[in-house]
Amino acid sequence: MELARSSEHDGMNSIVGEEGAGFDAGAHPLFARMPSSVSFNKLRKRLLRQTRQALDDFGMLKGAKRWLVGLSGGKDSYSLLALLMDLQWRGLLPVELIACNLDQGQPNFPKHILPEYLTSIGVKHRIEYRDTYSVVKEKVPTGATYCSLCSRLRRGNLYRIAREEGCDALVLGHHREDILETFFMNLFHGGRLASMPAKLLNDEGDLMVLRPLAYAAEDDLAKFAAAMEFPIIPCDLCGSQDGLERNAMKAMLADIERRMPGRKDTMLRALGHVNPSHLLDAKLFDFQSLSPESQE
């Protein structure tokens, strides 16, 4: 295992970890605290099945060799890394994984947690410090949420790191609820039908952006993360809260699911069953040429 010291200096980084031989889930440090209960086993199998299904449905493994896995320290990204490592152990993911955390200079960010955890489980990783927090503070008006600009700056840095590490894809932990919330935000506020794609080619055309948890429910990921005892880092260290629009969509979807269980899955399926001829976009369907067949 090659070890290096993580740096706290702007622009400095380190690679820590081991080359990706397979591992036994029962012995690997990542799974040391894995519960043995039937309920957890079912949860784990469900998440693995959904992750593998997304990988297959969207051709995420096509040409894949090396992935940069974005790790924020939240429940979703921890779960993503664990599930990918689980699939890797089973021989179903022939891809090298590098976990990457971008320390954005948020106040009170616990710098030691991720390096210590990732080193303890023996996963190859890179920790990089970039003070984007100061940039966001300077650019965003008082009282406005930081999340949008913060996210764009983080994504740009992750693209750069992926290129530096020779990765062909950036892998993110967005789940079913993230996709549905984004769809309704675009519908209500943007006047368009669009969401987060499970697979996206970046604007420069040199990196794929993958979301293998597209089919996974947020509640399942929360239960999985709690059972695995991941050292969670809160996402509100900067004092800003997520946008009111997304919170409103989250509340709306939760209310619909409470009153009509199963609707989230139905809505997610709808995003994969689009009928352009039954919408109003003339760019997607040739309405001009549509006419009844002539009768003799």
pLDDT digits (tens, 9 = 90+) for 85-126: 999 988 899 999 999 998 877 777 788 899 999 999 989 999
Q: Check whether 100 is labelled as a binding-site residue.
A: no
What DSSP designation does 17 have?
Answer: B
- Is the pLDDT at 137 greater than 80? The verdict is no
Q: In this predicted model, what pLDDT tens digit does every residue of 36-76 receive, in sequence order?
A: 899 999 999 999 999 999 999 999 999 999 999 999 999 99
pLDDT at residue 6 tops 80: no
Neighbouring residues of 216: CB distance < 8 A, sequence distance ≥ 6 = 47, 50, 51, 79, 175, 176
Does 150 count as an annotated binding residue?
A: yes
What pLDDT is attached to residue 149? 61
In 10 A of CB 213, how many CB atoms? 29
Amino acid at 6: S
171-203 pLDDT, tens digit per residue, is 999 999 999 999 999 999 999 999 999 999 999
Beta bridge partners of 258: none
Residue 235 is assigned to a ligand binding site? no
Confidence band for 4, pLDDT divided at 50, 70 and 90 = very low
For tokens 């689980």, the residue is 86
Residue type for position 45: K
Q: Is the pLDDT of residue 26 over 60?
A: no
Spatial neighbors of 281 by CB under 8 A, at least 6 apart, are none
Instruction: For helices 218-228 and 38-57, give the axis angle rounded to 10 degrees.
Output: 130
DSSP E strand boundaries for 135-252: 169-171, 199-201, 208-210
Task: List the domains of the chain with CATH numbers.
Answer: 13-275 (3.40.50.620)
CA–CA gap between residue 164 and residue 91 (Å, rounded): 27
